[in-house]
Amino acid sequence: MQSPKVSSIVNPMAKTVLISGGTSGLGKGMVLQLLKEGFGVSTFSKDGTKCQTLSAEFKEFEKNLLVSAGDVTKEEDNRRIVEATIQRFGRIDILINNAGYGYFPAADAVEQEKFEDMLRVNVVGMTILTKHVLPHMKKQKSGLIINISSISGKVGFGGSEFYNATKFGVMGYSDGLRLELEPFHIKVSTVCPGMVDTPFFTPEEIERRMKTRWNGKRPQMLDASDIVRAISFICNQSEHSNVQDILVMPF
């Protein structure tokens, strides 16, 4: 649900964060935490019902929250959401590329359409949203981009090779982007969680992993709040620090 256009800028002294996929799971936790910390937050997902639900649930923060319906794989949606964020808040200081999902077929059972859809969401959408944010950050001569990757962006796992391919892509893109944007005083961070206890992992996927990796035992998993705290730390880092990568694993 896209908020109506407004002519005045909300709280121009506060930093603004744009988060893709912020209506559920990790993204929703990030939205709430950063709103509590006083950030202006713009977020979106392609599920209009979830957008309406989030707006209603976080109504107490409505002055600092913009929720839009949009598909991260569609360039026009990304452009529109960036423009709406700039109009509402006046700037974008932080971009969190959070939207993503997992598809875990066997190598000889992969469906091309499903794999390509995951690539579009996990990798292509991230790059297109970043493309539309960067002119504003370059104009400001400052900014922070946080790309949510995974332990699967660092280590390959049998049965997860297609998801691995997307998250290794996130890491490679982020490494190159960091070097390209350094002259513009724009920082690039990656966050690589282990398994997090959110709806991202379906019961079927948990059962598959119990059978193939963990000898029938349910694995230890991170809580969403563990990753949200890491995101908060990066967003609140000092001007003279540069948090480039955080790996968070269950203990």
| Catalytic residue set | 163
In a 13 Å sphere around the CA of 155, the CA atoms on its Cβ side amount to 7
CA–CA distances in Å: residue 206 to residues 76, 200, 211, 216 = 36, 10, 9, 10
Q: What angle do CA 26, 32, 37 make, to 5 degrees?
A: 125
Residues 19, 218: contact at Cβ < 8 Å? no
> Which structure tokens are listed for 225?
């709040």
Backbone angles phi, psi at 21, to 5 degrees: 65, 45
Backbone angles phi, psi at 78, to 5 degrees: -60, -45
Tell which residue, 202, 182, 178, 194, has the closest CA to residue 230.
194
Distance of CA 3 to the CA centre of its chain: 21
First to last CA, the chain: 39
